[in-house]
């Protein structure tokens, strides 16, 4: 029987992720879908023994972390084999609410990548910070009814789940009615973990040790191994993968910077790293494809089978997977590292501009820390992790003012509320940046995205904050009263409307400027952006003050002030 298709790929080594094996066979494509038994094509392409795998899937990411909207993100991610991303628009939702989610959703349509959205569950992430919006279950429900979301995004406010908060449980019920509910429970163990899972949570991407991840696996959670630009958990979690657990694992990036996307890759980068660390290549591809599709019940994608959407990647070396062609819906959309189709999106972002509003009375004096205490809490940064330590240090003082102590690598940290001009400014201290003679500032400050500033003097810190206010958001470096570099992020203070290459260049300039101050972190803006995150232990800083995440309360700067 002759079965004629639009395109017939011959001499293929098909990665069969359902049976975890390589099969030599031809692959047909008709109307953008796979036809496995095809015998002839209007166009026939001899792949000469190349491998063909399903398109790669990022199980959880915030596209805003790329500092690019979905249309520009596609230009960097698709050439690396990503044909699907599960997006939580949590960042823009915390700035703009439902309007922000709808802007991202509209921009993600008609792209050479399938973007599935989850409804952001924690806006704000917790009551210990001030965000630009507050989304209730009733606010989120229209997104489900209109089919714009496939579930409820990461439930970060796990204390509220444990305390049976009625509104949080209503959101979870809404998510379960329409799909899955993603989790976020760093360090949660034992009976508390079980109660969190029993509420309806199905996944977690916050495990940092194999022991923690194994307990979550045993209790039924789908574990996302995260390897992004900020948190890198692959090597620590790889030991959890075995014959019994394989199907319960996915890969995700959570947060990925544009230069990393272009230079290192996306999910393909995680696949290569995992293979280099000893994971079987077929298992790595299985984790990166069908596991996520199965978890979210996306029956149209994830494997190369009859009738499924023809999303796939072509490459030559199973031990060093470098996509040379990427196909989406039966069309070649990227070749040799470059997008091969036009990006015709024309989203109007004007409603997202001018989102940074400092207090009307903001001056250098707004950043002073006036206290009689002699011992202070200091946030300790842990390299490559979102969790932090609570350190105690002797306060360096000028009179009653506590000042930065760069000789001990203790810098001042400020989080300035930027949405409602409340005047809220949280002041704390942090150890780990290792620079002196200036300040860094960012309007990317998870999750409320207030202005986060770190420095060794109030004058440069104030100038950095003012610079970002005038730019409509972004990241900058200031030294001795001079703005050394600025990365403008006018879309909600989170993303750029400039081409991806321009954003990468601007980002490199701010990183170079930070290194000029003596910071030896590869990207100090990553830890800076997570220091306001009030739902990841142990000590953080929001616009309301220092947050003891374990106790889930605001605590004083001075240890003896308690």
Q: Please state, in angstroms and rounded to a whole number, the distance separating the CA atoms of residues 514 and 476.
A: 9
Which run of H or E residues covers position 546? strand 545-548
Q: What is the CATH number of domain 63-262+270-275?
A: 3.20.20.140
Specify whether the CB–CB gap between 530 and 230 falls below 8 A.
yes
3-state secondary structure of 541: strand
**β-sheet bridge partners, residue 103:** none
| Residue 79 DSSP one-character state | G
Q: Is the Cβ–Cβ distance between 150 and 177 less than 8 Å?
A: no
Residue 32's nearest CA partner among 309, 306, 302, 304 is: 309
Rounded CA-CA distance 544/422 in Å is 11
Eight-state DSSP code of residue 220: T
How high is the pLDDT of residue 401? 95
| CA pseudo-torsion sign 150, 156, 157, 161 | positive
Determine the angle formed by the axes of helices 98-107 and 137-145, rounding to 10 degrees. Answer: 20
**Burial class for 483, CB neighbours closer than 10 Å (0-12, 13-18, 19+):** middle
Q: Which residue in 56, 50, 76 sits closest to 503, CA to CA?
A: 76
Q: In what order do the strands lie in the sheet with 474-479?
A: 388-394, 375-381, 425-431, 410-416, 451-455, 439-442, 474-479, 482-488
Coil vs helix vs strand at 296: coil
Kindly compute the dihedral angle of the four CA atoms of residues 125, 130, 136, 141, in this order, to the nearest 10 degrees: -70
pLDDT tens for each residue of the chain, 562 residues long = 778 999 999 999 999 999 999 999 999 999 999 999 899 999 999 999 999 999 999 999 999 999 999 999 999 999 999 999 999 999 999 999 999 999 999 999 999 999 999 999 999 988 999 999 999 999 999 999 999 999 999 999 898 999 999 999 999 999 999 999 999 999 999 999 999 999 999 999 999 999 999 999 999 999 999 999 888 999 999 999 999 999 999 999 999 999 999 999 999 999 999 999 999 999 999 999 999 999 999 999 999 999 999 999 999 999 999 999 999 999 999 999 999 998 777 899 999 999 999 999 999 999 999 888 899 999 999 887 888 999 999 999 998 899 999 999 999 999 999 999 999 999 999 999 999 999 999 999 999 999 999 999 999 999 999 999 999 999 999 999 999 999 999 999 999 999 999 999 999 999 999 999 999 999 999 999 999 999 889 999 999 999 999 999 999 999 976 5
Q: According to the 3-state scheme, what is the secondary structure of 155-218?
A: ECCHHHHHCCCHHHHHHHHHHHHHCEEEECCCCCCHHHHHHHHHCCCCEECCCCCHHHHHHHHH
User: What is the crossing angle of helices 500-516 and 70-77, to 10°?
Assistant: 80
pLDDT at residue 561, rounded to an integer:
65
The CA distance from 531 to 446, in Å, is 8
Distance, in Å, from the CA atom of 383 to the CA atom of 521, rounded to the nearest integer, reads 9
Residues 6+ apart with CB under 8 A from 559: 373, 375, 376, 377, 392
Tally of CB atoms within 10 A around 374: 12
Give residue 80's region: left, alpha or beta (phi > 0; psi -120 to 50): alpha
> What is the per-residue pLDDT for 346?
82
Domain boundaries, the chain: 63-262+270-275, 353-561
Q: β-strands 482-488, 338-339: how paired?
A: unpaired
Q: Cα separation of 461 and 481, whole Å?
A: 9
């Amino acid at each position: 029987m002759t079965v004629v298709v639009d395109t017939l790929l011959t001499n293929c080594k098909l990665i069969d992720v359902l049976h975890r094996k390589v099969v030599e066979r031809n692959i047909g494509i008709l109307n953008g879908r796979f036809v496995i038994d095809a015998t002839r094509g209007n166009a026939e392409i001899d792949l000469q023994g190349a491998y063909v795998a399903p398109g790669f899937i990022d199980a959880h990411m915030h596209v805003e972390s790329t500092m690019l909207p979905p249309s520009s993100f596609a230009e960097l991610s698709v050439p690396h084999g990503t044909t699907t991303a599960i997006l939580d628009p949590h960042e823009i939702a915390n700035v703009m609410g439902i309007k922000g989610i709808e802007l991202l959703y509209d921009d993600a349509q008609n792209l050479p990548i399938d973007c599935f959205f989850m409804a952001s569950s924690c806006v704000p992430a917790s009551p210990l910070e001030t965000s630009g919006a507050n989304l209730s279950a009733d606010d989120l429900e229209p997104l489900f009814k209109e089919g714009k979301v496939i579930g409820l995004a990461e439930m970060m406010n796990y204390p509220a789940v444990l305390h049976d908060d009625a509104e949080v449980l209503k959101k979870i019920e809404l998510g379960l009615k329409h799909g899955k509910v993603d989790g976020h429970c760093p360090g949660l163990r034992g009976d508390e973990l079980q109660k969190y899972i029993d509420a309806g949570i199905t996944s977690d991407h916050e495990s940092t040790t194999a022991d923690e991840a194994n307990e979550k696996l045993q209790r039924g959670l789908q574990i996302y191994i995260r390897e992004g630009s900020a948190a890198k958990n692959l090597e620590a979690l790889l030991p959890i993968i075995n014959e019994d657990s394989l199907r319960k694992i996915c890969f995700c990036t959570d947060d990925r910077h544009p230069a990393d996307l272009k230079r290192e890759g996306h999910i393909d980068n995680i696949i290569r790293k995992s293979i280099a660390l000893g994971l079987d290549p077929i298992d790595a591809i299985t984790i990166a494809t069908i596991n996520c599709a199965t978890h979210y019940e996306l029956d149209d994608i994830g494997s190369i089978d009859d009738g499924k959407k023809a999303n796939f990647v072509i490459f030559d070396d199973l031990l060093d997977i470098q996509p040379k062609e990427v196909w989406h819906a039966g069309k070649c959309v990227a070749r040799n590292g470059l997008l091969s189709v036009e990006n015709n999106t024309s989203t109007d972002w004007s409603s997202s501009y001018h989102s940074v509003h400092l207090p009307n009375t903001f001056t250098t004096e707004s950043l002073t820390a006036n206290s009689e205490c002699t011992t202070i809490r200091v946030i300790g940064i842990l390299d490559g992790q979102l969790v932090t330590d609570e350190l105690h240090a002797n306060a360096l003082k000028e009179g009653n003012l506590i000042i930065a102590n760069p000789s001990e690598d203790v810098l001042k940290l400020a989080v300035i509320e930027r949405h409602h001009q409340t005047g809220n400014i949280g002041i704390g201290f942090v150890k780990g940046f290792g620079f002196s003679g200036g300040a860094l500032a960012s309007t990317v400050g998870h999750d409320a995205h207030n202005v986060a500033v770190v420095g060794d003097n109030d004058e440069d810190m104030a100038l950095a904050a003012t610079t970002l206010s005038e730019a409509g958001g972004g990241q900058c470096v200031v030294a001795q009263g001079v703005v050394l570099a600025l990365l403008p992020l006018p879309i909600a203070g989170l993303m750029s409307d400039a081409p991806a290459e321009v954003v990468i260049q601007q980002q490199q300039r701010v990183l170079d400027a930070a290194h000029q101050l003596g910071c030896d972190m590869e990207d100090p803006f990553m830890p800076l952006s997570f220091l306001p995150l009030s739902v990841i232990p142990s000590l953080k800083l929001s616009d309301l003050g220092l947050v003891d995440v374990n106790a889930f309360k605001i605590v004083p700067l001075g240890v003896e002030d308690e």
